[in-house]
Amino acid sequence: MTTGPTPTAPHGTVSAYKRHLRNGDRPCDACRAAWAAYHRSLRARASLVVLFVVVLLLSACGGQREAIRETPASPDPPSACPKGSTVVVIGDSITVATSTQLTAALNSAGYTPAINAHSGRTLLRAIEPVAGYNEFHNLRRCWVVALGTNDTYHLPASEWQSDIDTLTAYIPKGEPSWWVRVAIPHGDEFNALVPYPLIDWEPIASELPDGTHPNEAGAKIWVSLVVDALTAS
């Protein structure tokens, strides 16, 4: 049986958008629109999950509105992550490139590393792993979010705030949390929206061969900056 060539997804689809990235191309307008629409659908599903949880809470409270209390403002995170904590690091390809060194450094600093990184990850695609870590209620955790680069490259700025809010809603209030600064063009606009203390990795700007990903020397500095932020006193 003779088979023909594998059909190529047309432009204006998520598959074609990913093909652009694999080929090192800038996605065309039609593919960027398809990618943005895909993320809007993710955002809508996330909103439905939140609505479902609210309905369950109302049912558990007998539908009494007075039983609902306003959530207090999250306190400022402590100046250091307590030793012995599990440090959850949620990242993209930058974290992938540094994960081996980061794991060793966190272990040496007295933490249990829990690193979850995937190339090309955007904020909304990080919801599942973040929610998964919340299943372990007995863990003493600190969080490091190293995301935003792909969002600033591929999604309109009008969507950044809502996506940040959607993701951080899954990180329990009161658990020490940091965000690694986005250090690419338009990064400052994104960073201004982040609700957590920023870990600045400007010192390794000269160690980014492609303008985004650190080389070996840059990865070592990146890891040091992250661990220094966690252990600062």
Model confidence at 63, pLDDT cuts 50, 70, 90, reads very low
Mind listing the pLDDT tens digit for each residue in 134-172?
Answer: 877 678 999 999 999 999 988 999 999 999 999 999 999
In the CATH scheme, what architecture does the domain 86-231 have?
Answer: 3-Layer(aba) Sandwich (3.40)
Q: What is the pLDDT of residue 57?
A: 47
Q: In 3-state terms, the chain is what percent helix, strand and coil (to 5)?
A: 50, 10, 40
Q: What is the pLDDT of residue 75?
A: 37
3-state secondary structure of 215: coil
* Euclidean distance between CA atoms 21 and 121, whole angstroms: 13
Average predicted confidence (pLDDT) for the chain: 79
Sign of CA dihedral 56, 60, 66, 70: negative
Would you say residue 5 has pLDDT above 70?
no
Strand order across the 177-180 sheet: 112-117, 86-91, 141-146, 177-180, 198-199
pTM of the prediction?
Answer: 0.68
- Tell me the backbone φ, ψ of residue 142, rounded to 5 degrees: -130, 155
Would you say residue 7 has pLDDT above 80?
no
Which residue type, as a one-letter code, is found at position 212? T
* End-to-end Cα separation, the chain, in angstroms: 69
> Residue 13 gets which letter from DSSP?
S
CA angle 69, 43, 149 (to 5 degrees): 110
Instruction: Map out the domains of the chain as residue ranges.
Output: 14-66, 86-231
Mind listing the pLDDT tens digit for each residue in 167-209?
Answer: 999 999 889 999 999 987 678 899 999 999 999 876 676 677 7
Q: What is the pLDDT of residue 28?
A: 80
